[in-house]
Every structure is written in C-alpha cells, then in structure tokens.
Structure 1
Amino acid sequence: MDFKTEVNRLINEFLLTRPDLFLVDLKISAASDVTLILDGDNGVTLQDCLDASRAIEFNMDREVHDFSLQVMSAGLSEPLEFPRQFKKNIGRPVDVLLNNDSKIEGELINVDDEKIVIRLEYRRPKVIGKGKEDVVEDKEILYSDIKKALVVIKF
C-alpha cells in the first residue's frame, strides 16, 4: 500500500472511533510532510489532535517511510466548507462570498445538506413616503453558489 493511501486509511479508522470529529483537509507533500486539519461538532481539543496524531504515528513505520506529521484544528480564519462546519456555527454572523463575487453578511440561522439560510438585517428607503425602514429578510444560499464563507469575529 502506498504512503498516501495508508495515511488516509489510518485517519479514517481513527475518525470511525470519533464520530464527533471530521476531516477538513489532508495534505501530503512530495517530501512526505503530512498536514491534517480536523474539525468537530463540538470543537477540537488538543487531546483530539494528539489522539489523531498517535493513530497515524503508532501505526506507521518510519524505517519504511520517513515523514513529518502536523495535526491541527480548523481555525476561525479558515473558510467553512462542509455542512457540519456550517451547522456548528448556527447563530453566528458569517460573511459569504458568492460565485458571482457579491458578498452577503448576516446571521447563519439554518443549515441542511443543500443550502444555508442567512438572516439579513438592513435599512432601505421606504416604498411609500420618505425616510427609511428596517428590513429583516431570510436568504437561502445553495452550497454550489458559495465561493467562500467565513465566520465573522466581533469583539
């Protein structure tokens, strides 16, 4: 079995024992530098990263194939890519860049396997009369229409 296939098999076996965790990204360079990014329904702890690292380290023979391994959690600056990542961020503000390069910012209020729903709050000119009115609108966005989505961090 080649190196990449073996690493994939080991991480998938580990994830079967931890259904609350999921793989966001796995990169293996030509120099056998392995970078594993995990996320979890309830976040990822340092212990989770250690356990994933051990699942690979203890089952690979460095005499056969030398490698470096880095296991980390998906950070707040990382884009949301999977429905599980969106789901765990319900109630948080998100910035969504669509494929047509327009941007939408609002509160993530619902997620399913095909789309997300964002609550937009803004002011617009009144339809009748002068002045402005507050508008609250829920907008559905298909995953296929999303180029990039980030959680907005407010202090």
Structure 2
Amino acid sequence: MNQTKVRDIVDEALAFDESLYLIDLVISENNKIQITVDGDNGVPLSECIRISRSVDNSFDREEEDFSLEVSTPDIAHPLKVKRQYKKNINRILKVKTLEEEFEGTLVEADEDKIVLSWKAREAKPIGKGKVTVQKTATLDYKDIKEAKVKIVF
C-alpha cells in the first residue's frame, strides 16, 4: 500500500468538509489502513462512512488486499494536532512536559503555545492558613510530551 496515495485520497475526501481534519494515518505491514479523523464540531458517522467509501473505491480489491478502519479519536488518547487544542478550549487538560505535569482549564491555544489556568491553595504570605490563588502556565507545543482531556462527571 502506498501511504502517499492513501493520504492524498483522504485529504481529498476531507476537503468536502473543512471542519474535518486528519489526526493519524497508519498502514501496517499486512495492509491494514487505520485512519483517524476529528472535526471542529465532532465527526458524524456519515462522514466516517463517506471517507471510508472514498478510500475503498479508489483501490481495486483484486489487485491489493487491505482492511480499512476510519474512526474518531478516543477521549483517552492524547491530543496530537494543534487544531484539537483549539477545539478543547474551556476544558480541563492534563499536560505532561519533560519537567512537570499540569492540570488546568485550557484558556488559550494558538499556533505556538497553549495557556492553562487553575486555582491552587498556597500559604498566606503573612500569618497562618492558606489562600486560594489563580495560577496560569504558558506551554509551547514543542515542550508538551502528552496532553489529555480530563473527563469530569
């Protein structure tokens, strides 16, 4: 299977709906094609079917034997592309960098960085007790090792 050809077909299929974007494309040694797509407003099942048919109809099954799976990202999987961060503004993220871990509300996401905000309890500067303070962290995408959306019930 030619990954470039498959990617071109997927990109062509995604061009019909500009709110959709490719997260991952994996082709295994035994020709299992796994395509993961996401959308700014979610991905309807009909779009997964349309993308699957577009890829399936572009290859002759008599010439190449392959299996095909088109899916959306699982909530447990880390965010992979910048557009996913923008989609998840105002949600709580768990973010790991090489040095530390953060958990906070994603308040901003642009082309270079994200901004997380959270409340923390700290000792009062004078006297006993603690006070609640608002904290923020600005993280460059290149420094993020893993980021996941936290599920809150």
TM-score scaled to structure 1, two decimals?
Answer: 0.95
For 2:4, the equivalent position in structure 1 comes to 5
- For the aligned residue pairs, the C-alpha RMSD in angstroms reads 1.0
Distance (Å, rounded) in 1 between the aligned partners of 2:3 and 2:83: 25
CA shift for structure 1 position 66: 1.0
CA shift for structure 1 position 75: 1.4
> SS where residue 11 of structure 2 aligns?
helix
In structure 2, give the amino acid aligned to 1:137. K
For 2:141, the equivalent position in structure 1 comes to 143
Contact 1:3 1:65 in 2 (8 A): no
Task: Please list every run of 5 or more consecutive structure 1 residues that lacks an aligned counterpart in the other structure.
Answer: none
Distance (Å, rounded) in 1 between the aligned partners of 2:97 and 2:83: 19
> SS where residue 15 of structure 2 aligns?
helix
> SS where residue 17 of structure 1 aligns?
coil
Of all paired residues, the percent bearing the same amino acid is 40
Structure 2 matches for 1:104-143, cutoff 5 A? 104-143=102-141
> SS where residue 41 of structure 2 aligns?
coil
> SS where residue 118 of structure 1 aligns?
strand
> SS where residue 8 of structure 1 aligns?
helix
Task: Please list every run of 5 or more consecutive structure 2 residues that lacks an aligned counterpart in the other structure.
Answer: none
Contact 1:80 1:150 in 2 (8 A): yes
Distance (Å, rounded) in 2 between the aligned partners of 1:144 and 1:91: 21
In structure 2, give the amino acid aligned to 1:33. K
CA deviations 1:1-56 (Å, max 9, x no partner) are: x6322211100111122211111110001110000011110111111110110110
Structure 2 matches for 1:16-95, cutoff 5 A? 16-95=15-94
> SS where residue 62 of structure 1 aligns?
coil
Distance (Å, rounded) in 2 between the aligned partners of 1:46 and 1:9: 21
TM-score scaled to structure 2, two decimals?
Answer: 0.96
Contact 1:118 1:138 in 2 (8 A): yes
CA shift for structure 1 position 137: 1.7
